[in-house]
């Protein structure tokens, strides 16, 4: 076998697998898949979005993190929306304004990072030319593809109860959106309908020929800046020209003899490592999986992780993140001792939790021992599309706290804190698992449960990512509908508030590849329509 790829969209996974068949390495496959995902799942990610990836190439001595998060416009200010702040969703993902300016339209967009991130990874660590890697995505945009069930589910979510704008309204915002996402009678397209985007095909062709420069300093940059100015957005040529990919060293944690390599802040690797190391204070393998004792430990560990994330996590260029404390085994042991003593942590929020579904992932491992995990997103789709370009801009500004003086507050050029946690797990200095998840603030709990399912409970990767999950980012434990009712009765008898999701597969969507003997096994969370393909 040449390798294995897992992705949340079958069309994109096939593109990555075909790239491996053509002789590409794991990085070539991951970037080809990433470009395709922006076509076939255009509200989850795209060239108007941002992301982060972790790359390990043992034969070349490479292990690095590329961070290409969206940045607040250089003209943004800490108090620009302070008088319009009305609240925060219970999952902590979105800060709500009275006029929705941070989530709908051109003002919601931060400087996109995906084009520069994809291209830097490919040029430094891939083996194929950009035009060859982008070609499948161009074909998909031009020829079209079938709308899948999860795409339509996301489009149709009613978010008004949380105070957010519905995605369908964002799809209607632009002339391009109305042309490609709706039927001739004005109704939203449905599963099985075809979606083609010729404007996006032409934009991708221009990037394939002109490289990232055309997007950040060339013709496309000028078109973006003109449209932003006309529509009242803050992004300018200066924002695009100043954008740089951050390269960082991975951060490390330990879990039962495995070493976990994560992305440093502003991404979510530190939160994942803290959560795993708290769980490491308990012998979970002797507990019934998803029994009340297991869930209580998971929930309390997640609450402590969330308390620390809310207090400390942000862009380290702007915020002092106490990494030594958060990654300390002694600190995790202290948290575990408080859980063992029966203490209940408190993370008060008021709104009902919703699974933030605005992100996607790709994980690849190949025969050379290379491992890649990439998480990329629009943050939230903004609805804004520049005429003729075909792609939707990110809505990253909704993730900044409009109140000045906080870790997540707005600042010019700042990246919002992100739960993205593309992760590689090592055993005896060799990468053995590449894993990631979409799901906003649910990403870290989802990955932690999948890893624990493999390591503590001996599950296959496919079983581990599909097992029922819980999340606890507030004083309520949210559970999948497949968690047994007798268990939630026991949790309520312990004094916990419990909210049951109507979904069988809820709270993030982990996808992973695992070394098995001389090959690999993979798992795609069934919630997202994806698949794992071995080549």
Give the residue-averaged pLDDT of 467-494: 97
* DSSP, res 218: S
Is cis: bond before 213, omega within 30 of 0? no
| pLDDT for the residue numbered 389 | 98
| pLDDT for the residue numbered 246 | 96
**Does the pLDDT of residue 144 top 90, yes or no?**
yes
Q: In this structure, are residues 472 and 348 in contact, taking their beta carbons and an 8 Å threshold?
A: no
* Alpha-carbon span 63 to 51, nearest angstrom: 18
* Alpha-carbon span 119 to 114, nearest angstrom: 8
Q: In this structure, are residues 120 and 30 in contact, taking their beta carbons and an 8 Å threshold?
A: no
* Alpha-carbon span 448 to 466, nearest angstrom: 13
**Does the pLDDT of residue 346 top 90, yes or no?**
yes
Local confidence band at 521 (pLDDT 50, 70, 90 cut-offs): very high
Mean pLDDT, all residues of the chain: 95
Local confidence band at 92 (pLDDT 50, 70, 90 cut-offs): low
Single out the catalytic residue among 359, 360, 386, 423.
359
Local confidence band at 312 (pLDDT 50, 70, 90 cut-offs): confident
Local confidence band at 353 (pLDDT 50, 70, 90 cut-offs): low
Tell me the DSSP string of 26-78: HHHHHHHHHHHHHHHSTTT--TTSEEEEEEEEGGGTEEEEEEE--B--TT--T
In the chain, what are the domain boundaries? 248-354+420-522
**Does the pLDDT of residue 402 top 60, yes or no?**
yes
Give the residue-averaged pLDDT of 237-247: 98
| pLDDT for the residue numbered 439 | 87
Local confidence band at 352 (pLDDT 50, 70, 90 cut-offs): very low
Q: Which residues contact 178 (CB under 8 A, 6 or more apart)?
A: 171, 172
- Cα dist. 324→178, 332, 334 in Å? 49, 11, 15
Give the residue-averaged pLDDT of 50-64: 98
Between 312 and 390, where is the model more confident? 390
Instruction: Kindly report, residue by residue over 35-53, the tens digit of the pLDDT.
Output: 999 999 999 999 999 999 9
* Alpha-carbon span 123 to 222, nearest angstrom: 24
State the CATH architecture for 248-354+420-522. Orthogonal Bundle (1.10)
**Does the pLDDT of residue 310 top 50, yes or no?**
yes
| pLDDT for the residue numbered 356 | 52
| pLDDT for the residue numbered 350 | 45
CB atoms within 10 A of CB 83: 9
Q: Decide if 359 is catalytic.
A: yes
Local confidence band at 348 (pLDDT 50, 70, 90 cut-offs): confident
Least confident segment among 86-100, 147-161, 426-440:
86-100
**3-state DSSP of 120-134:** HHHHHHCCCCHHHHH
Q: What percent of the chain has pLDDT over 70?
A: 98
Between 440 and 345, where is the model more confident? 345
Tell me the DSSP string of 368-399: TS-EEEEEEE-SSEEEEE-TTT--EEE-GGGG
**Does the pLDDT of residue 137 top 70, yes or no?**
yes
Q: Which residues contact 322 (CB under 8 A, 6 or more apart)?
A: 312
| pLDDT for the residue numbered 14 | 98
Local confidence band at 91 (pLDDT 50, 70, 90 cut-offs): low
Q: Which residues contact 201 (CB under 8 A, 6 or more apart)?
A: 138, 139, 141, 142, 390
**Residue 28 in tokens:** 């070539």
**Does the pLDDT of residue 153 top 80, yes or no?**
yes
**Residue 408 in tokens:** 């997540």
pTM of the predicted protein model: 0.95
| pLDDT for the residue numbered 87 | 86
Q: In this structure, are residues 117 and 30 in contact, taking their beta carbons and an 8 Å threshold?
A: no
């Amino acid at each position: 076998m040449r390798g294995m790829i897992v992705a949340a969209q079958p069309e994109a996974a096939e593109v990555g697998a075909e790239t491996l068949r053509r002789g590409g390495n794991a990085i070539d496959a991951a970037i080809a898949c990433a470009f395709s995902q922006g076509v076939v799942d255009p509200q989850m990610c795209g060239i108007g979005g941002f992301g982060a990836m972790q790359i390990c190439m043992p034969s070349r001595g490479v292990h690095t993190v590329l961070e290409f998060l969206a940045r607040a416009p250089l003209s943004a200010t800490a108090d620009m929306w302070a008088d319009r702040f009305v609240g925060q969703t219970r999952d902590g993902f979105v800060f709500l304004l009275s006029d929705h300016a941070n989530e709908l339209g051109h003002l919601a967009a931060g400087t996109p990072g995906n084009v520069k991130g994809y291209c830097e990874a490919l040029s430094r660590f891939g083996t194929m030319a950009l035009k060859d890697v982008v070609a499948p995505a161009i074909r998909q945009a031009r020829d079209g593809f079938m709308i899948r069930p999860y795409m339509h589910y996301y489009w149709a979510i009613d978010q008004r109860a949380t105070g957010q704008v519905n995605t369908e309204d964002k799809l209607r915002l632009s002339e391009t959106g109305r042309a490609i996402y709706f039927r001739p009678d004005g109704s939203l397209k449905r599963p099985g309908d075809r979606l083609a985007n010729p404007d996006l095909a032409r934009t991708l062709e221009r990037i394939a020929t002109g490289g990232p420069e055309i997007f950040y300093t060339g013709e496309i940059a000028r078109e973006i800046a003109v449209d932003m100015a006309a529509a009242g957005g803050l992004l300018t040529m200066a924002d695009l020209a100043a954008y740089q990919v951050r390269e960082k060293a991975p951060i490390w944690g330990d879990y039962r003899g495995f070493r976990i390599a994560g992305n440093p802040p502003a991404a979510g690797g530190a939160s994942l490592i803290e959560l795993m190391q708290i769980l490491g204070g308990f012998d979970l393998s002797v507990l019934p999986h998803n029994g009340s004792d297991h869930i209580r430990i998971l929930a309390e560990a997640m609450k402590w992780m969330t308390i620390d994330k809310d207090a400390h996590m942000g862009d380290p260029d702007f915020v002092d993140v106490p990494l030594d404390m958060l990654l300390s085994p002694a600190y995790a042991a202290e948290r575990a001792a408080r859980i063992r003593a029966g203490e209940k942590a408190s993370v008060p929020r008021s709104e009902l939790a919703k699974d933030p579904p605005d992100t996607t992932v790709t994980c690849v491992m190949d025969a050379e021992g290379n491992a890649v995990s990439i998480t990329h997103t629009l943050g939230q789709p903004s609805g804004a599309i520049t005429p003729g370009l075909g792609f939707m801009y990110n809505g990253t500004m909704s993730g900044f706290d409009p109140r000045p003086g906080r870790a997540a507050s707005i600042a010019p050029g700042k990246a919002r804190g992100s739960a993205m946690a593309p992760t590689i797990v090592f055993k005896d200095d060799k990468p053995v698992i590449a894993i990631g998840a979409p799901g906003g603030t649910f990403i870290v709990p989802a990955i932690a449960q999948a890893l624990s399912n493999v390591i503590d409970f001996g599950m296959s990767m496919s079983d581990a990512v599909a097992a029922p999950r819980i999340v606890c980012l507030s004083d309520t434990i949210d559970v999948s509908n497949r968690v047994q009712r007798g268990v939630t009765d026991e949790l309520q008898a312990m004094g916990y508030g419990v909210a049951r999701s109507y979904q069988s597969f809820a709270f993030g969507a982990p996808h992973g590849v695992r070394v098995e003997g001389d090959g690999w096994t993979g798992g795609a969370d069934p919630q997202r329509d994806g698949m794992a393909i071995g080549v």
